[in-house]
Structure 1
Amino acid sequence: MHKLFVLLMFPLLSFSQQNIGKAEALLMQKKYVSAENLLQLIIAEHPKNLKAIELFGDAYGYQKKWDDAITQYKKLVEAKPLEANYHYKYGGALGMKALQVNKFIALTIIGDVKEAFLTAAKLDTKHINTRWALVELYMQLPAIVGGSQSKSLQYANELEALSKVDGYLAKGYIYEYDEQPDLAEKYYKMAITEGGSLTCYEKLSRFYESTNTPEKAISTIEASQKKHKRNALHYQIGKVAAEYNVQLAKGEQCLQTYIKNYRAEDGVPIAWANYRLAQIYKHQNKKEKALRAITLAISELPEIQVFKEEKLKIDQL
């Protein structure tokens, strides 16, 4: 009889798993509303399916519906209180809500955020994302409610023990946030030497932009392009050149290369490359070329307000 029951139930379970797989695919495709709608149906039939609940929370989170995400993640924490990742996601959603409400309400939430992350860190001594969250939390919190560079560095050291690259990036972040640029640069460079991923180069180039050293930013992006051969990096070089009015010839060449080799996976639409070209031509007082480039940008993405504002500036040359 028991075997018969299992056989009868198997098609239902298989159907549920199939739909969960579809929901995961929709999230990967950034079709968050469709995923939300599908998961709502799945949970209506299987209200205790933890995977479906987690994905439901993720679908809400991607849409920045933090109260709804919190509700789903709280169910997970209550169902499996020893699962570190559930506490991490719950704390993350609470933290994002705290950023969107007024300071008085945020103060009532921060304690729960901290408790969730600390619980996750205690439950899983190798949970990298939780330690990153604690690094950022302790740096961003005012000292009066528990902010502490020393605690942030404590979790950066724990990260370094798990992953040298993450540890170095975390320390770069801490010292950048604390306005200690020499130390920030040191650790971002150490991360590149240790790992050399796109993320490592991106952190250093953005640091250089934030410290108004665009020449160094361009050199860093060029080094990344040399190693990783990504067309998207041509756009990044052109963007820095256009924004800071430096190395304009190189910026123009990189943007033309980006447009010529563009594929959807490069991420930034061609319209933005034309906008950056228009900025470069404006810096060079090449009004005709600038107008041609900005007109292309507007025709491709007519709803972007900064394109229209740029055209007004070019018209006045």
Structure 2
Amino acid sequence: MNKYFIFLLFPIWGFSQTSYQEIEQFLEQKNYVKAEQLATPFVANNPTDLKAIEILGDTYGYQEKWDEAIEQYKKLVSLKPNVANYHYKYGGALGMKALSVNKLSALVYLSDLKESFLTAARLDPNHIEARWALVELYMQLPVIVGGSMNTSLKYAEELEQLSKVDGYLAKGYIYEYDNEPELAELYYKKAILVGGSLTCYTKLSEFYEKQDQPEKAITNIEEAQEKLQRNALHYQLGKVSAEYNVQLSKGEACLKSYIKNYSPEDGVPVAWANYRLAQIYRHKDNKVQALHYINLAIDGLPEIEVFNEERKIILAL
């Protein structure tokens, strides 16, 4: 399972009870350490409080403390075995733990995480996230330990019955993973026609990039921008332009627009936009401007190694 899965596994709670209000506030502020500090004694004093246990598990999950998260979600499954989301979260934490260790050690978690997702899907016929997890799991597992494209497609079909967008995106993922690019493109385009969300467009753009088709990626991003008007898409286009050395003037304009209109909701820090501008100016053999923007990038995020590597390349021009 991919890292982006973390925030599907651990959504921010919104409790009305006074007992949880302070913890909720720290979660919303992404101060997970403080939330953990408050939730830990609360759970110790209320060992069967399901919401408190789940909150504590979520604070661990946000911090990628998988062993501790597994412990809390296992309590939930034991206390209330018929709640699908508890099995889903338990399986998700097991899956993330498996990704953090070597392949041999990961096998220890395989049986329990598979059973958790299967149980969640069985208990809740409408549980979209559990079915997504099963789509990914059965595609990524080797056949020798139970991997199966047919099983993955089975859960993609179930997703399609619940949400056509999710079903099409799942099938796009399956066929991309199975190296069937024509079918992958077909289903990603179907997802755009039905859903038209930023996620749908982004999946297709990323697919084109992996297929080494930057011009198609740029066209898709432009279509998304025309429909959605998102500043984040300016960065996406500029990134493709910089990485593939194509449509440099368009990429330059988009990145400058991204910086001018930047807000934290756009996601990618300004330093990365400056880095992409430095790449574009390097492609244009404009050493002065390239150095200017790479220095801005390094000033913004000095710990990013690729920024320093890019500066060395520029200095060698």
Common fold, TM-score beyond 0.5? yes
Instruction: Report the AA paired with residue 44 of structure 1.
Output: A
Q: CA deviation at 1:24?
A: 2.6
Per-residue CA deviations over 1:143-169 (Å, capped at 9, x if unaligned) read 011100000000000000000000000
Query: Against the structure 1 CA distance between its residues 92 and 280, is the aligned structure 2 distance closer, same or farther, given a 3 Å change threshold?
Result: same
Q: CA deviation at 1:243?
A: 0.7
1:123 and 1:183 mapped to 2: Cα distance?
32
Match of residue 259 from structure 1: 259
Match of residue 10 from structure 2: none
1:92 and 1:207 mapped to 2: Cα distance?
25
Return 5+ residue gaps in structure 1 as ranges: 1-14
Match of residue 303 from structure 2: 303
Match of residue 5 from structure 1: none
Cα contact 1:132–1:159 (8 A) shared by 2? yes
Instruction: Report the AA paired with residue 199 of structure 1.
Output: T
Match of residue 157 from structure 1: 157
Q: CA deviation at 1:129?
A: 0.4
1:19 and 1:223 mapped to 2: Cα distance?
47
Aligned residue for 2:17, secondary structure, equals helix
After TM superposition, the score normalised by the length of structure 1 is: 0.93
1:297 and 1:99 mapped to 2: Cα distance?
31
Matches within 5 A, 1:133-212: 133-212=133-212
2:232 and 2:124 mapped to 1: Cα distance?
36
Per-residue CA deviations over 1:267-312 (Å, capped at 9, x if unaligned) read 2121111111000000010011111111111122222221111111
The answer to whether residue 49 in structure 2 is matched with residue 49 in structure 1 is: yes
Matches within 5 A, 1:21-170: 21-170=21-170
Query: Against the structure 1 CA distance between its residues 309 and 205, is the aligned structure 2 distance closer, same or farther, given a 3 Å change threshold?
Result: same
Instruction: Report the AA paired with residue 60 of structure 1.
Output: Y
Overall identity of the aligned pairs, in %: 67
Q: CA deviation at 1:221?
A: 1.2
Match of residue 314 from structure 1: 314
1:171 and 1:25 mapped to 2: Cα distance?
38
The answer to whether residue 291 in structure 2 is matched with residue 285 in structure 1 is: no
Q: CA deviation at 1:104?
A: 2.5
Higher relative contact order (CA 8 A, sep 6+): 2
Per-residue CA deviations over 1:85-117 (Å, capped at 9, x if unaligned) read 000000111111112222222222111111111
Q: CA deviation at 1:16?
A: 9.9
1:16 and 1:286 mapped to 2: Cα distance?
57
What is the CA RMSD across the aligned residues, in angstroms?
1.4
Match of residue 7 from structure 1: none
Q: CA deviation at 1:138?
A: 0.4
1:217 and 1:155 mapped to 2: Cα distance?
28
Match of residue 232 from structure 2: 232
2:103 and 2:299 mapped to 1: Cα distance?
42
1:243 and 1:84 mapped to 2: Cα distance?
43
Q: CA deviation at 1:18?
A: 2.1
2:198 and 2:115 mapped to 1: Cα distance?
33
Q: CA deviation at 1:188?
A: 0.2
Q: CA deviation at 1:84?
A: 0.4
